[in-house]
Structure 1
Amino acid sequence: MTGKGIAFGVALMFSSPSFAALDLPLMFSDGAIVQRDKPLPVWGWATPGAKVKVGFDGKTAKATAGQDGRWQVQLPAHRAGGPYTLTVTGDGETRSVSDVLVGDVWLASGQSNMEWPLLQTDGAQAEIARANDTSIRHFKVPKSWADKPETHLAGGSWKAASPQTAGDFSAVAYYFAKDLRAATGVPVGIIDSSWGGSAIEAWMGLPMLGLDKPALDAKLRAKIDADAKVEAGTRAKIARWPNDANADFSAAKLDERDWAAVKVPSIWELQGYPGMDGVAWYRTTFKLSASEAKAGISLGLGQIDDDDETWVNGQRVGGLRQAWNIPREYAVPAAALHAGRNTIAVRVVDESGGGGIGGSATQLYVQINGGARRALTDEWKFRSSDADITLRDEKNQLDTLLYNKMIHPLQPYPLRGVIWYQGESNASDTGATRYRDQFKAMIEGWRGDWHAPKLPFLWVQLANWVSGSDQRDASGVVSASPWATLRESQSAALSLPATAQAVIVDVGDPDDIHPRDKGTVGHRLALGARHVAYGKTQVYSGPVYRGIDIDGDRAILRFDTQGSVVAVRGGGRQARGFELAGADRRWYRATAEVVGDTVVVRSDAVAQPAAARYAWSDNPAEADLVNAEGLPASPFRTQAW
């Protein structure tokens, strides 16, 4: 599960509103932060031909609404400060936007790891309690889509950081803003336009994708037709189970002969039920001895999307609502247990997106109080009880749809830069390679939209995670890794000016695609921003591969250290995570030694090295090359075989 969605209609249409009165973009609302030290465009809509006057801190500008009702003025650049009031007069009325600060505005975009709220991260309670800086402000763009570029956002408002609001902020963006706020002393505004599970294609405009409108329309129509076939297949599969929202399958003993078998943990869309939302039931059993039953247990049920109610032997033991990203752990008293076979029943309600019992295998368990933890069986019984079938959530995968409604309406609101955390949804065998060109095209496209060819653009490289996509040879060495390839595609965008990436292969969670340490991620993005956007000379990334020399059976790897040194996490000179290949292109594990600012790599299995690689897997757990500041080296390969 990487995101939630809204209705996906057959006709991909949003009509543009008509304007008969003064109107402003939602970014110009109370509590706004506007960009310092840059000319400030202010725009909106009014009756065609209406005269409009804009005032801000003693400066004024005038405009006349065009035939389409749109007007725009430009105010002079303003230093950081505030609060001020922005006034707009026209069409017989005056609009006042109060408590406006001037500082730095960053656009934060991507998929679920950018969207992930501060409330669900490591150390959240303490961080939220001290989030009392009203000069950090967050504007959340609602999840929305359109089949053509739109002028208006679907909603959104500015929220100042406080213990009452910060828990809902993007965690990565909050930590990033907090770091920059401390470094610069100016207000920092974050516009969070992100959507879990989204593909990069959805964030790109037509020119960035190299498409014209007829080609896009044909592609979308083909997708709709294909979805209709998939939906029909799912309907046929669940037709044997009557829809009954009040059905109760919580009893300890039940006839399950008509139930299906599914693997858990896995959302039900991946178990043969794509497009299904609504209510479904899961059942399984576990065994206890008499002494274990008397002790009571703790029951782990993974991350259930969205709501659950859980019974053991017919007795309710827990349940959560709207908690798709929270691992379930319920205490089961001895009174609900008995020696022998015990039954678990779980009623799941999913409103949209992926549904069912997800998370990692380690999150599904029975733990005897005072005793060992045992894994639950991976095969459960399953049936729907009140299901609706529609592939309405895949709009966040479709070309241009999110760009049109969640990015285009923001233009030309001035930005200090962009932070981006996305790529998981594109990390497939073919998608990871395509990402190289797509990512560069998107960066250049957004910069073109804002008329800022060197707009700072920073991103988070994919974290370490056991994705299941690695392919391995007989010796266990990875022969292909879409996740590693996508990281390489991300790194390739560093060839563009004013870019930096935060490498986080050391702080991910192998069992969870949503690592909870967002503070480190935000800090590393801020290090890059200080260099790229603020011109600070400093070490802002780990060692970066620059070249290879072959000396007999040794490969000598050279690095850019930014004035730091090459080191090994934990100390010493022996680094792990390296592999060598000869002309036959077969990879073998290798030993590696840090020598000055180089790493010398060799393997008894490779007499004449032709290529080296480092951390080349979805979860490079052994990789430990860092610099003196502890920042990890980016994964790389010297030959793109």
Structure 2
Amino acid sequence: MKLSTLISNGMVLQRNEQIAISGKTEVSKEVSLSFLGETYTTLSNHSGEWSIELANLQPGGPYEMEISTEDERVVISDILIGDVWVLGGQSNMELPINRTLDLLYDEVKDINEPNIRQFNVPQIYDFKGPRNELDGGSWMNATGENVMNFSAVGYFFAQKLYKKHGVPIGLIHTAVGGTPIEAWMSEITLREIGGYDEELDQIKDDEYVRKTKENDEKRMQDWHRNLNEKDIGLQEHWFTEEVDTNNWSELEVPNTWENSDLDIRGAVWCKREFEVPKSLAGTEAKLYLGTLIDADQTYINGTLVGTTGYRYPPRRYSIPAGVLREGKNSITVRVISSGSAGGFIKDMPYKIAANGEELNLEGTWKYKIGAITEPLGPPTFFQFKPTGVYNAMITPLRDYRIKGFAWYQGESNTGRPIGYSNLFANLVKDWRENWRQGDLPFLFTQLTSLDTGEKDANFSHWALLRDEQRLSLHVPNTAMAVIIDAGEHNDLHPQDKKTVGERLALGAMKIAYGEELVYSGPLYEKMEIIDGSIHLYFTNIGSGLVAHGGELKTFVISGEDGNFVPAMAEISGDKVIVSSNHVKQPTSVRYAWASNPEGANLYNKEGLPASPFTTEIR
């Protein structure tokens, strides 16, 4: 008996739908299925395939299902009936709860929600065509240590829905960090859109893929081997306490190394001493080392306590009991910069914490360059290529009935933001056609805020992508969560995933559950030019428009020259009036038009932020 891995212990079945339980066995075998006091039988076909339909399942559980032939018997236990949602996108959807503990520890430390489940789809790709079966995967409950591996956005989304309706929630987690939207779309659709034919043909060539991977692996190994062979710090054991740092230079931590003598590619060793009180000597402790560019190896008193191979994960290393001692201690960080200037990201925690006490590690450190190398280009991430994860991670789910989708993606498309709304509309079409359940609810998250260093005040890739996402609301049965107030200016992966999940849940309550509620912040609708001012009108104003924290900010206005300047903006009833003494004949307004729109403060009275927008027609 062969079953999809989705049909397994702990599964959540979609309520109020025609549910097909199918599998494969020997040819022309009678298959019997027992569930909820009923027994169903069918005959496998000439290929051994069989399918049995269950109708009108009501929420509840846990239940048990038995599937058998005269030769085999399979029992599936701990089954729930409720609502099933597919979680898609890239790293901010994938980000597990264990990456949010700095902010949300108190929210998640005691989670015990056996009626919230997550199925992790294996992260694989296939360029040859759609697959019919998953290559593994299993269900887990939101209990114990399992919780730490849940999608943080997904968990808080499910938690809000479960608290409201009391119906079990199943999450099918099928997100992959770094993936552009094209990776999640079908080949037919991308060829119809155009511009992808050459790449689609190339990645079907197994030999090309094999050689590229082989060359990348060799190039990476050669680079690191060369770095290690050249690194004087490794040869002289600079991670030990005995190293004389009197001739080392000084730097302030946190800091990045652009436009300094440390703007190199290679290894830089950073070291400082710190005092440990008697109360912390010998105790187990936690080291908070912010976020580093790019990789690091970190030592306390010569003991390696942690290492991370790339930029984005926050460094949270455990210091074993016995490593810290009373009095003088040392920390050494070997920072490896392969593609960009290294550094310690600002506005992050740099400290040691234990027993309710903290030791601050910010301030003056010593440093010395261990080795300088050539830059290392990134490998070819084939999971980012068009159609691959769609074929291997989406199409095999087609026969599993669901309630809808929750999508968080876009960062990897900011390099080419124009046209994203068209890609998104086609992705929704692909996914809905794959499931064959009509216009399934499709919830999506707009990009949050991030300081990308863009200098041109009139142009922002991230602002353009957000506006493309806003325009995507023309797709029927969709809802967008605006989260520019839930970001961190210095982190691509902000930790406040509770706000994100709960705002997606508001959209679900509206378009999937038909509830009457304010589920979105204000959305730009239209404008009028009146007496040298632009009057803006919005939908989703709820009980009314409001400015958080004083006067409205981040509005800019332009005339026919297209040069936007800061504007005065005020709320007048259900509209916003925007003007500037420097623009006598205005034509356009933008709001929160930056990668990091700090100060954006237009909300409705229900506390939901307005979406960034431009009145320009593209």
Task: Tell me how far apart the structure 2 counterparts of residues 371 and 364 of structure 1 sit (CA, whole Å).
Answer: 9
Match of 2:599 in 1: 622
Shift of the 578–85 alpha-carbon distance from structure 1 to 2, 3 Å rule, reads: same
- Give the partner amino acid of 1:606: V
Task: Tell me how far apart the structure 1 counterparts of residues 470 and 112 of structure 2 sit (CA, whole Å).
Answer: 36
Task: Tell me how far apart the structure 1 counterparts of residues 276 and 156 of structure 2 sit (CA, whole Å).
Answer: 46
Match of 1:412 in 2: 399
Match of 1:195 in 2: 176
**Contact 2:104–2:496 (CA under 8 A) maintained in structure 1:** no
Task: Tell me how far apart the structure 2 counterparts of residues 223 and 610 of structure 1 sit (CA, whole Å).
Answer: 50
SS at match of 1:480: coil
Match of 1:11 in 2: none
Task: Tell me how far apart the structure 1 counterparts of residues 553 and 275 of structure 2 sit (CA, whole Å).
Answer: 45
Match of 2:502 in 1: 523
1:94 aligns with 2:80: no
* 1:373-522 superposed matches below 5 A: 373-374=362-363, 381-382=370-371, 394-428=381-415, 430=416, 432-468=417-453, 470-472=454-456, 478-522=457-501
Match among 129, 147, 158 for residue 166 of structure 1? 147
Match among 346, 350, 353 for residue 334 of structure 2? 346
SS at match of 1:161: strand
**Contact 1:302–1:357 (CA under 8 A) maintained in structure 2:** no
Match of 2:582 in 1: 605
* Deviation at residue 71 of structure 1 after TM alignment: 2.7
* Deviation at residue 418 of structure 1 after TM alignment: 0.6
**Contact 1:80–1:103 (CA under 8 A) maintained in structure 2:** yes
Task: Tell me how far apart the structure 1 counterparts of residues 238 and 544 of structure 2 sit (CA, whole Å).
Answer: 62
Structure 1 unaligned blocks of 5 or more: 1-21, 258-262, 274-279, 338-342, 473-477
1:216 aligns with 2:200: yes
Q: Which moved more, 1:48-57 or 1:483-492?
A: 48-57
User: Over the residues paired in the alignment, what is the CA RMSD in angstroms?
Assistant: 4.0
1:337-358 per-residue CA deviation (whole Å, 9 max, x = no partner) reads 6xxxxx944277x9xx999977
**Contact 1:317–1:332 (CA under 8 A) maintained in structure 2:** no
Match of 1:17 in 2: none
**Contact 2:523–2:611 (CA under 8 A) maintained in structure 1:** yes
* 1:39-438 superposed matches below 5 A: 39-90=18-69, 92-122=71-101, 124-147=104-127, 148-210=129-191, 216-219=200-203, 221=205, 240-241=226-227, 248-250=237-239, 252=243, 281-284=267-270, 301-303=289-291, 309-311=297-299, 315-316=301-302, 319-320=305-306, 325-328=313-316, 335-336=328-329, 344-346=332-334, 360-363=345-348, 373-374=362-363, 381-382=370-371, 394-428=381-415, 430=416, 432-438=417-423
* 1:553-592 superposed matches below 5 A: 553-561=532-540, 563-570=542-549, 572=550, 574-592=551-569
1:186-208 per-residue CA deviation (whole Å, 9 max, x = no partner) reads 11111111111222111112123
* Deviation at residue 401 of structure 1 after TM alignment: 1.3
Shift of the 607–184 alpha-carbon distance from structure 1 to 2, 3 Å rule, reads: same
* Deviation at residue 181 of structure 1 after TM alignment: 0.6
Shift of the 489–59 alpha-carbon distance from structure 1 to 2, 3 Å rule, reads: farther
* TM-score computed with the length of structure 1 as normaliser: 0.79
**Contact 1:613–1:637 (CA under 8 A) maintained in structure 2:** yes
- Give the partner amino acid of 1:42: I
Task: Tell me how far apart the structure 2 counterparts of residues 355 and 550 of structure 1 sit (CA, whole Å).
Answer: 46
The share of aligned pairs that are identical, in percent, is 32
* Deviation at residue 395 of structure 1 after TM alignment: 2.0
* Deviation at residue 497 of structure 1 after TM alignment: 1.3
1:242-298 per-residue CA deviation (whole Å, 9 max, x = no partner) reads 6699964535359x99xxxxx9579xxxx998xxxxxx8541467x9xxx98999x9
Shift of the 527–68 alpha-carbon distance from structure 1 to 2, 3 Å rule, reads: same
* Deviation at residue 500 of structure 1 after TM alignment: 0.4
1:346-388 per-residue CA deviation (whole Å, 9 max, x = no partner) reads 277x9xx999977723448799x9989437699965569xx9x
Q: Which moved more, 1:512-521 or 1:208-217?
A: 208-217
Task: Tell me how far apart the structure 2 counterparts of residues 555 and 332 of structure 1 sit (CA, whole Å).
Answer: 65
Task: Tell me how far apart the structure 2 counterparts of residues 390 and 580 of structure 1 sit (CA, whole Å).
Answer: 41
- Give the partner amino acid of 1:598: K
- Give the partner amino acid of 2:484: V
Shift of the 152–559 alpha-carbon distance from structure 1 to 2, 3 Å rule, reads: same
Shift of the 321–581 alpha-carbon distance from structure 1 to 2, 3 Å rule, reads: same
Shift of the 344–209 alpha-carbon distance from structure 1 to 2, 3 Å rule, reads: same
**Contact 2:140–2:146 (CA under 8 A) maintained in structure 1:** yes
Task: Tell me how far apart the structure 2 counterparts of residues 144 and 354 of structure 1 sit (CA, whole Å).
Answer: 26
**Contact 2:157–2:502 (CA under 8 A) maintained in structure 1:** yes
Shift of the 391–154 alpha-carbon distance from structure 1 to 2, 3 Å rule, reads: farther
Task: Tell me how far apart the structure 1 counterparts of residues 298 and 498 of structure 2 sit (CA, whole Å).
Answer: 33
Count of matched residue pairs: 577
- Give the partner amino acid of 1:180: L
**Contact 2:542–2:605 (CA under 8 A) maintained in structure 1:** no
* Deviation at residue 488 of structure 1 after TM alignment: 1.2
Task: Tell me how far apart the structure 2 counterparts of residues 327 and 239 of structure 1 sit (CA, whole Å).
Answer: 24
